[in-house]
Structure 1
Amino acid sequence: MDETTVQATPESYRQTRRLLMIAADKLTQRMGTLATESGKASEAGKAWSELDRQRRLVIEMIASCSYIIDWLESGRMPGNRRGIERRAGYQREIPTDPSAMAAVLEGRSGCALSDGEGESDAPSLALERALGGLTERERDCFRLTQAEGFTLVEAAEVLKISKSSAGTYLLRARRKIEANLQEGGGSSVG
C-alpha cells in the first residue's frame, strides 16, 4: 500500500477542517432524515444516538484543527497573550547544573575552587562564594558564556540585551569573581 506524507501546515489543517465540516453536515442531515422517517422507535433511537455520538466526535476534531491552525499561525499557544520572548526574566529562566559551572571555573578558567580541606562539597561552597557578589544579570552572562558555551552575541540574544551590555556584564562578573576568589585564597579567572 502506497502512503503519502502530508506536511503539518496551516493550509493542510484548513483542508482537513473543511473535510470534517462536510462530514459533520452529512451526519446532521442523516440525523434529520432519520428523525423524520417512520420506523421502529427503538432502532431509530439507537441509530440516531450513534450518529449524534459520531457527529460530536467530528466536531471535537474540527475544534482541534482550529486550535492547531491558530498555534501554527501565531507561533504560540492559542489563548496566551504573550509569547515566551515577552515573559518576565523569572519565567524564561534557563536552569543550569551547578557542577557544570564548577567544572568551568576549575578546568577551563584555571581556577582552583577547593579550599584544600578535602571536603566533598568544597567546590560547591567555593563556587557559591565566587559567584556570591554577582547581580542576576552578571551571573546570567557569565553562566551562558562560560558554562553553557554561548558566544557573547548569542548570550546577548538570549538575555534580550545588546552585545556591548553583555560584554560589560561579563567583564564585571569576571572582576567580581576574581576579587571573591582572591579573598578566599583562590586564583584568578582567565
Structure 2
Amino acid sequence: MQDLIDGYQQTKRMLRALRTLNTDAAERGLLSSMISDCEYAIEWLVSGRRPGNKRGVERRAGYQRERPIDPIRIQSYVMQSTAGSPANITDWERWQIEEALRTLTPLERACYEMAAGQGIGHGDIASMLGISRGNVSTLLGRAEEKIKLNKISSLFLQ
C-alpha cells in the first residue's frame, strides 16, 4: 500500500514540475486537474475513506448500519418458545395475541417476542439484532405501551 502512495506522490511531484515549465494555459489547467486527482487518490489511500466525507460508514447511526441475521437462527428462537406449547393455546387465543401484536413495528415485535415469549435478556437481544441494549429497552417500552393501548381500544382483547 505504501508503494502505491509513494507512486502517486512521485507522479504528483512530476506533474507539478511539468506545470511550472509549461506556458500553455489549457495544458496548465489539464496538469492542475491531474495533480488534483493525485491528491484525491493519496488522501483516500492514507485516510481509508473517500475524501470530503464528513461521516464515514463506521459513524453511521444504529438504524443505518445493516447487520445480516440468519433467518433460521431467529426461527429457532421462535420455535423454542418458553411461553407454553402451541398446543395449549386455542385458535381464539392465538388470534387475540396476533391482534395485540398487530400494531408493532417489525423490530418492536422481534424484541417483544424474544423478551416476553422466549425470556431472552436485553443484552442477548441487542447482540442478535445488532442494536444497542438501550435501544432494546426503548423498543420494549414502546411495544408494551402500544399493546396496552390496543387492549384498551379493541373490543376483541377485553
Task: Assess same fold via TM > 0.5.
Answer: no
- TM-score (ref. length: structure 2): 0.43
- TM-score (ref. length: structure 1): 0.38
